[in-house]
Chain A
Amino acid sequence: MIRRVQTGQGLNDALATGRLRVAHVVFFVMSATAPLTVVAGVLVTAYAVTGNTGLPIAFAAVAAVLAVFAVGYVATGRYLPHAGAIYAYVSHGIGRAPGVGAAWVALVAYNAIECSLYGAIGAAVSPLVENWVGVELPWPVYAIAAWALVAALGMARVDLNGGVLAVLLVCEVALIIVFDAAFLTRPVEGPAWSVWSVDRLSDPGFGALLAIAVLGYVGIEATVVFSEETREPRRTIPVAMYAAIAVTTAVYAVSAWAITAATGTSAIVTAATESGTDLVFDLIRGRLGPLAATAGHVLFATSIIAAMISFHNMTARYVYALGREGVLPRVFGRTSRSGAPVAGSAAQSLVGLAVITGFAAGGADPVVRLFYTFSTSGSLGVLILLVGAAMSVLGFFARDSRGEGIWRTRVAPSISLTALMVILVLVLANFGTLLGVAEDDPLRWGVPVAYLLTVVAGCVYAAVLRVRQPEVFRAIGLGGKSALERRRSPLTSEPRTSEPGTGGLR
């Protein structure tokens, strides 16, 4: 029979939500960041492509900026109806037109990151298959197999089970801690303190490393999604976000340092170029034996697949939310009977298939060109989104501080906006170095200009919507709650600024 609401207990308290605690949220958020994918894949390739050893300090710098950014970001998220997506911040904080621009950028960036993982999976799995079966297969075989798995799971609404993710995450982090300790206690040429020197900040191409550091934190912006399921969201969500940033930073920065110590500062770039994503596992084999190396390879593969599933679902939900709002065709707002955002999932899968086929046909290097170029390009998009989110926080509280203190509404958002702008400028100035291409390469300006055009296209599209379909325009940034805005009736004529869920959207 229906539960009674206890005396003195509000309806929201009586809801069976509020089960998640800090540790749960940190696990969910961190498992999407797939630490081993970043450490064994991104870090090593970054050393090879940029030739710069300042990665640890880049992670520390970006973490400091993100921690300040989180203050205003989390505070704003409490008032938004669709807090999981940065374009919703932009829609509410700056305006609906830039909101659509941000949504387009997010779609491009998340799709790029998802596609990049298809380039990495071959490199992760083929050594295992060669070792166990003795067959050497081309990378597109593994990529297509992983793609099919992710596409099927996405359609069937199978998300990764929280428990499985937690076990994988703990194993990954444990392995990373063990090899970091092994690398740092037996360095080749001393403990490589020089990677921490502030002199690295003035090294050519340091800006490129900041983009790589940002890439390591993609997924953390989703922390606010869990606020409805925590008992004390005002405490739990910020603590979880800071904890996730702190743990991720420790793992990445120390690993980047440890890998340098294991090869020697002078040899890291050559070693990374020669061994690629095998470098970490070769080092593990040398220091900890073949069993540990195999375990590492297996975890590398599961880590990439976990990241694929999580980015696939993230992209599919973005498409779904936009379909609900009517910003994308309504068909994208439908679900299958299993409750999966089918059309969004299928759209992401089609993009993935096209990219894999294109790269397989073109014969480009899957690790450097697909994995690295796509993920760093995606990282630039995420950085643009973070700048947009920081502006939105200022804009959101400028109209009404909602009783929040000046540190949350003005000071921290201003500091983080300035710092993120500096990072964006540095990344743009070093984008050629980041991609490892010449200054006159079409990609060097092509990728940034593509993002600019994406923003402009989104704004123009929103302007068209404003004239042609004002009811769709009004629902931008509401996600699932757009159904409430579309229904303009005498029931909703009351201003709903205080109504939970609509976030005081004007």
Chain B
Amino acid sequence: MSTIGDDLYLVTHDDRTGNPRVPGSRVRLGLAAGLIAELLVSGHLTIRHERLYLVPGRAGHGTPPSGPLSRTVLATVASQPPQGVGAWTRFLAQDAVEDIRDRLLRTGVLTTVRRPSLLTGWRVRYPPADGNVAAWPGIRLARTLSRSGELTVEDAVLTGLVAAMDLLHHVLRDEVDAELGRSRARAVRDGLPPVLAALLAHTESALADGVLTYRS
């Protein structure tokens, strides 16, 4: 089972404090796309004419996706007539951060820390249990990109989503040949299978719309 959502969560959050590295609205959209990407890669969902469809054999009586979160996402998509990829991304974005965080808490990757706070009573943070585990997806991506290794399709999607969230610079910050990493990331993005490229384009446009209509 691919864990694009988990990996993206770890890349978009600080490996020590667990705080998001990019604004919440952008994390949410990216992670929602990550959840959809997991099901596209596993073959349970597909995209036709900009809409998200169930793949009958896989989603119906074939292998169910592993993990309760993926099954819930699939059931939610199945509960509606086919809808646009953008609409699903924005819909799933409402809870994507909490859902993936729960998954990472259950597997013990994240921990819960409660501190008293003057303003809100309690302030809850979710720092990783082991900083090395949390940093690994980013390091793996950086190494493969800047040292011409072969990328799995999961990491190719992850690269696209990380770039869409303007975090590629951050991921490649310690690499000697960051420029090679960036140019390979562009090549990876352009070489994605059509269905995943479609998801990425919808995510990029949702993120860009967020920049254009943002106000606090």
Contacts and interface: CB of A to CB of B under 8 A. Distances in A.
Interface of A: 1-5, 11-12, 14-17, 28, 82, 84, 157-162, 225-226, 228-229, 317, 320-321, 324, 333-341, 479-484, 486-487, 489-492, 494, 496, 499-501
Contacts of A494: 49-50
B44 to A, nearest CB: 15
Given A1-B72, A487-B198, A337 B84 contact: no
Interface stretch (B104-112, B116-124, B148-156, B202-210): B202-210
A339 B22 contact: yes
Contacts of B13: none
A339 B211 contact: yes
B94 interface: yes
Interface of B: 21-23, 25-26, 47-50, 72-73, 76, 79-80, 83-84, 86-88, 90-92, 94-95, 99, 166-167, 170, 194-195, 197-198, 201-202, 204-216
Contact of A5 (B79, B86, B207): B79
B210 to A, nearest CB: 7
B212 A339 contact: no
Contacts of B72: 1-2
B39 to A, nearest CB: 13
A3 B95 contact: yes
Nearest to B50: A499
B23 A483 contact: no
A492 B207 CA distance: 20
Given A321-B212, A496-B50, A489 B76 contact: no
A15 B90 contact: yes
B211 A492 contact: no
Residue of B76, B86, B204, B210 with most partner-chain A CB within 10 A: B204
B91 A15 contact: yes
Nearest to B25: A339
Residue of B79, B83, B84, B216 with most partner-chain A CB within 10 A: B216
B197 to A, nearest CB: 6
Given A12-B87, A158-B216, A491 B205 contact: no
A159 B208 contact: no
A480 B90 contact: no
A320 B90 contact: no
B216 A160 contact: yes
A317 B50 contact: no
Contacts of B47: 491
Contact of B166 (A159, A226, A334, A496): A334
Main SS class of interface, B: helix
Contact of A159 (B170, B201, B215): B215
Nearest to B94: A16
Given A14-B91, A487-B201, A159 B216 contact: yes
Contacts of A335: 166, 211
B94 A3 contact: yes
Contacts of A481: 205, 208-209
Contacts of A486: 201
Contacts of A321: 208, 212
A321 B167 CA distance: 19
A84 B215 CA distance: 14
Closest 4 CB pairs of A and B: A480-B208, A483-B204, A480-B209, A494-B49
A4 B72 CA distance: 10
Contacts of B73: 2
A343 B27 CA distance: 21
Given A160-B215, A486-B201, A15 B87 contact: yes
B86 A157 contact: no
A129 B95 CA distance: 49
A5 B80 contact: yes
A339 B206 CA distance: 12
B50 A341 contact: no
Contact of B216 (A11, A161, A480, A483): A161
B86 A225 contact: no
Nearest to A323: B208
A486 B212 CA distance: 19
Residue of A1, A486, A491, A501 with most partner-chain B CB within 10 A: A491
A12 B91 CA distance: 8
A84 B212 contact: yes
A501 B90 contact: no
A396 B91 CA distance: 30
Contact of A228 (B48, B88, B205, B213): B213
A162 B215 CA distance: 8
A101 to B, nearest CB: 21
A491 B195 contact: yes
Given A483-B204, A486-B201, A491-B48, A2 B95 contact: yes
B82 to A, nearest CB: 10
A227 to B, nearest CB: 10
B91 A491 contact: no
